[in-house]
A and B are shown apart, each in its own frame.
Chain A
Amino acid sequence: MGHIKLTNVTKSFGAVDVIHGINLEIANGELVVFVGPSGCGKSTLLRIIAGLEKPTGGELAIDGKVVNDTPAADRGLAMVFQSYALYPHMSVRQNLAFGLENTKMPKAEITERITEAARMLEIEPYLDRRPGQLSGGQRQRVAIGRAIVRRPVAFLLDEPLSNLDAELRGSTRAELAALHARLSATMIYVTHDQVEAMTLADRIVVLRAGRIEQIGTPLELYNSPANRFVAGFIGSPHMNFLEGTVEAVQSGKAIAALPGGQRIEIAVNGANIGKGARITVGVRPQHITVGSDAAGIPASIKLVEALGSETVIHADVSGQKILVVAPGQHNLTPGTELRLSLAAAPLHLFNERGLRLDHAV
């Protein structure tokens, strides 16, 4: 159980509209990640699902039942907060028990559930400590444990890893994925970090300014972003965008001219582009090859970051910045010229409004 459906959900705080008509269906057992820049309304949307905020309009259903007017306590959901929100005056055990006691659960069962969750999360040694005596990672586990013992219909997690240091974040992320596999419960996970989204999600919902930009599996988003925003947001380092004008369309191919006068050829699979259209060509830094053949686009090197396994090159193509990630180590010096080839790269085409122009890869 844990099927959640949002229909035209809107939310405004006073005169400020924060969520604009969200339609979304989350299947039972799915791990859905809400991702988007901070302030885009992810937390607000999650809190609406949780019942901590009332939607201004629209309908929210859990397992087919409309719950707009059901208080948070009665929705059967559990939430993990960014600040963990552990009760500072209670021991870890009491923190875990609090929610169960409120449902008048028998003592024995409470103990059993706490023991089980503590074993699963490896927090048994700390059960009698206060949250103040725990490290950040331990607190994080307790916060997850508090949700687990409730055996909720769905887990709601609001940036649960953002207060951890980078290393811990990586390992906890993997544990969360394992936990999801094990519990096979619905999870809604909010983050502003696209790497987290990509690694965890069954499906990603990309939000911007209270609107859904795209919903899809991580690879769908990576391979065919619906618009410039998603294209730029997913993937690291972010996609390069080159502005250009269509010079000619012939036999399924478009010739686009970049401001510097270079021409690139793009397969246009039935997309509706005419001559003279202003377009944006998107190409991921990893897909550009560095070469010296004369067919490449000339670029001047601004900065070289040698990471060992790969080399990140910041370059300038007639006034437009471009980022290249070349595998291996290269002996390059800033100020010199090089040629970049897009021949092997999957190109993404966006029209003037930033929408994807579908074309063959």
Chain B
Amino acid sequence: MSRVAEFLLRRKGGKGWHWTDIVTWVWLVGGLFIMFGPAVWLVGSSFKSPAALAEFPPSILPYVTQKATVEGYDKPLDLYDVTLPDGSKATLAEVRRIGIISQMVDPQKPGEIIKVNIAERTPVRQMSFATGNYTEPFTQFDFVRYLWNSVFVTVTATLITLVVNSMAAFALSKYEFRGRTFAMLLILATLMVPLSVIMVPLYSIISALGLFNNLWGVILPTVATPTGVFILRQYMLTIPDELIDAARMDKASEWQIYWRIILPLTAPALAVLAIFSVVWRWNDFLWPLIVLSRKELYTLQVGLSIYSGELNVQWHFILAMTVVTMIPVVLVFIFLQRFITTGIAGTGLK
């Protein structure tokens, strides 16, 4: 243990504590709480029952108040540990509460009402995971559909992105033709035209093509990413042209050169683009929100935001579904974090 501490607290040159060391550790530990805390809190909350969610102060772990069915009462009653005026302790069920006085009954002797000051009672609680938060939305709401829609959009868009962008990158890196520079500039210019600038006319084009309320209307505008073309092209430029000459001498067609020589050799860059594309498309929000207005077409992001915007927010479901929505991205984070961070540091793209 002390070895671990020694390792973690190792400082430059092993000299004494400098004020910057203290700032560093405050910043890092504070960062740890601020960055992970909210997500952890969300996950914890997602297992709480609606009643537990409404409590203040909230409990850290998901507890529920135990209930008992008492003869003569329709609904199950909450159980409390009570300190009676004579100092003895008992477990009673609360019938109703008036001001600071709680009217209670002993579940064993339901006839007799006992009045107790609310300061003298504490609920009988038990840890319980409200897994219904996770299972019910799949049956009650369309979350299976939303999940499927999101998966469909993400996978399809990523595949098309990879094919279309790698083809363009191949043309732009390995062929000399008139207008190549122009094509590059045109693609470069796209960087200046984000969705927020063209959403009105894009919407009309999507509608004119009959793609409004259609998942393809969500997919198609996203697949010609300039960043994708750029990373792939940069990478392909490092593949020696002699390989292509060799393949031509080997009677390979241009198409074969593309998919049997260039694509396999571009695999690392394609993997980077694939990961980014998955994260982008999974997280897309504004454009699906515009294109999809029928409930059964919502992606997870749209569904979540619509449900969370309702007047009567069912937080227990929303929280659980938020966790579900987070899962793929968290998996990507856990397994590919290093890959992604080096990718970003190398290319400066997000």
| Touching chains A and B, CB distance < 8 Å | yes
A interface residue numbers (CB < 8 A to B): 47, 50-52, 71-74, 77-79, 81-83, 85-89, 98-99, 102-103, 146, 150
Q: List 9 A-B contacts (CB under 8 A).
A: A50-B245, A52-B245, A72-B245, A73-B249, A85-B242, A85-B243, A85-B245, A99-B252, A146-B250
A52: B residues at CB distance < 8 A = 245, 248-249
CB pair B265 A89 closer than 8 Å: yes
C-alpha gap A158/B238 in the complex (Å): 21
User: Which among A71, A77, A83 is the interface contact of B240 at CB below 8 angstroms?
Assistant: A83
B242: A residues at CB distance < 8 A = 81-83, 85
User: Which among B240, B247, B249 is the interface contact of A50 at CB below 8 angstroms?
Assistant: B249
Supplied contacts A52-B245, A73-B251, A85-B245, 9 more A-B pairs, CB within 8 Å = A73-B248, A74-B251, A77-B249, A79-B246, A87-B246, A88-B265, A89-B265, A99-B251, A102-B253
C-alpha gap A52/B250 in the complex (Å): 12
Query: Shortest beta-carbon distance, B98 to chain A, in Å?
Result: 80
CB pair A79 B245 closer than 8 Å: yes
Q: A81-B242, A85-B243, A88-B265 are in contact. Are A98 and B249 (CB under 8 A)?
A: no
B38 at the interface (CB under 8 A from A): no
A77: B residues at CB distance < 8 A = 249
User: Which among B243, B245, B248, B253 is the interface contact of A87 at CB below 8 angstroms?
Assistant: B243
B124 at the interface (CB under 8 A from A): no
B260: A residues at CB distance < 8 A = 98
Query: Shortest beta-carbon distance, A248 to chain B, in Å?
Result: 58
C-alpha gap A282/B256 in the complex (Å): 55
Interface residue count on the B side (C-beta < 8 Å): 17
C-alpha gap A103/B252 in the complex (Å): 9
- Which residues 223-271 of B have a CB within 8 angstroms of A? 240, 242-243, 245-253, 256, 260-261, 264-265
C-alpha gap A82/B241 in the complex (Å): 12
Q: A85-B242, A87-B243, A89-B265 are in contact. Are A98 and B252 (CB under 8 A)?
A: yes
Residue in chain A with minimal CB distance to B246? A85
C-alpha gap A83/B246 in the complex (Å): 10
Q: Please report the number of residue pairs spanning A and B whose Cβ atoms sit closer than 8 angstroms.
A: 59
Q: A81-B242, A89-B265 are in contact. Are A72 and B252 (CB under 8 A)?
A: no
C-alpha gap A74/B248 in the complex (Å): 10
Residue in chain A with minimal CB distance to B250? A99
CB pair A85 B261 closer than 8 Å: no
Residue in chain B with minimal CB distance to A152? B249
Q: A83-B240, A89-B265 are in contact. Are A98 and B247 (CB under 8 A)?
A: yes
C-alpha gap A79/B246 in the complex (Å): 7
A81: B residues at CB distance < 8 A = 242, 245-246
Residue in chain B with minimal CB distance to A77? B249
Residue in chain B with minimal CB distance to A72? B248
CB pair A98 B250 closer than 8 Å: yes
CB pair A79 B251 closer than 8 Å: no
Residue in chain B with minimal CB distance to A94? B260
C-alpha gap A86/B239 in the complex (Å): 12
Query: Shortest beta-carbon distance, A256 to chain B, in Å?
Result: 50
CB pair A102 B256 closer than 8 Å: yes
Residue in chain A with minimal CB distance to B265? A89
Query: Shortest beta-carbon distance, A168 to chain B, in Å?
Result: 21
A99: B residues at CB distance < 8 A = 249-252
A78: B residues at CB distance < 8 A = 249
C-alpha gap A85/B245 in the complex (Å): 8
A86: B residues at CB distance < 8 A = 246
CB pair B246 A73 closer than 8 Å: no
B264: A residues at CB distance < 8 A = 89
Query: Shortest beta-carbon distance, B114 to chain A, in Å?
Result: 81
Query: Shortest beta-carbon distance, B176 to chain A, in Å?
Result: 10
C-alpha gap A35/B54 in the complex (Å): 88
C-alpha gap A83/B239 in the complex (Å): 12
CB pair A85 B248 closer than 8 Å: no
CB pair A72 B265 closer than 8 Å: no
Instruction: Bits for B148-189, please: 1 = Cβ < 8 Å to A, else 0.
Output: 000000000000000000000000000000000000000000
Q: A81-B242, A85-B243, A102-B256 are in contact. Are A72 and B261 (CB under 8 A)?
A: no
CB pair B248 A102 closer than 8 Å: no
Query: Shortest beta-carbon distance, B256 to chain A, in Å?
Result: 7
Query: Shortest beta-carbon distance, B170 to chain A, in Å?
Result: 16
Q: Which 7 A-B pairs have the closest CB atoms?
A: A99-B250, A85-B246, A85-B242, A73-B251, A102-B251, A89-B264, A72-B248
Q: A87-B261, A89-B264, A89-B265 are in contact. Are A73 and B252 (CB under 8 A)?
A: yes
Most chain A CB within 10 A, of B247, B250, B253, is at: B250
Query: Shortest beta-carbon distance, B103 to chain A, in Å?
Result: 79
C-alpha gap A74/B256 in the complex (Å): 16
C-alpha gap A265/B291 in the complex (Å): 97
C-alpha gap A89/B265 in the complex (Å): 7
Residue in chain B with minimal CB distance to A98? B250
Residue in chain A with minimal CB distance to B239? A88
B246: A residues at CB distance < 8 A = 79, 81, 85-87, 146
CB pair A79 B261 closer than 8 Å: no
C-alpha gap A51/B251 in the complex (Å): 12
Residue in chain B with minimal CB distance to A97? B250
Query: Shortest beta-carbon distance, A145 to chain B, in Å?
Result: 13
Query: Shortest beta-carbon distance, B264 to chain A, in Å?
Result: 4
Query: Shortest beta-carbon distance, A320 to chain B, in Å?
Result: 44
B261: A residues at CB distance < 8 A = 87
